[in-house]
Amino acid sequence: GELRPQLLDRFGLCVEVTGEKDLGLRRQIVERVLSFEADDPEFNERWAKEDATLRDRLIAARERLPSVVISGTVLDAVVEVVADLGVAGHRGDITILKCAKALAAVKGVTTPDEECLADAFRLSLPHRLKEDPFEETASGRRRLDAVLARFSR
């Protein structure tokens, strides 16, 4: 069943995960999971380089994070979008700003740009938007996309 909105609001970020439909990719995913779970040394060797690269990127981003600045313009834009969408409370605004700041640090910029903000909105808001139970499609997500399209012009 569905979680109550008060509980959903406690989750900072939310991603939707769907199963892979392409049979070749689906098989590859299953093989990798089984290899990982079997603690296969070849699995660790195969992914060691990518693991190290990602680890280094994240360490560098963590070091840059304190120097990322949220400008008044960015803050105003976030507050406006969240208010336009009718999100209750302030956790959404705060989560978006923290997420955008982290994404900017990963990207290596000193203030979140449009891409960082759009990604932060998409990670922080869908589970906070009220859905119309009589519509087949996700009305909250459509409203978010419409506001983001207007915002990015």
- Contacts of residue 97, defined as CB under 8 A and 6 or more positions apart, other chains included, come to 70, 74, 75, 78, 120
What single-letter DSSP state applies at residue 136?
S
Q: Which long-range contacts (CB under 8 A, 24 or more apart) does 104-109 make?
A: 104/68, 105/61, 105/62, 105/64, 105/65, 105/68, 106/57, 106/58, 106/61, 108/60, 108/61, 108/64, 109/68
Catalytic residue among 55, 91, 128, 143: 91
The percent helix, strand, coil of the chain (3-state, each to 5) is 65, 0, 35
Known active-site residue 122: no
Which residues are marked as active site? 91
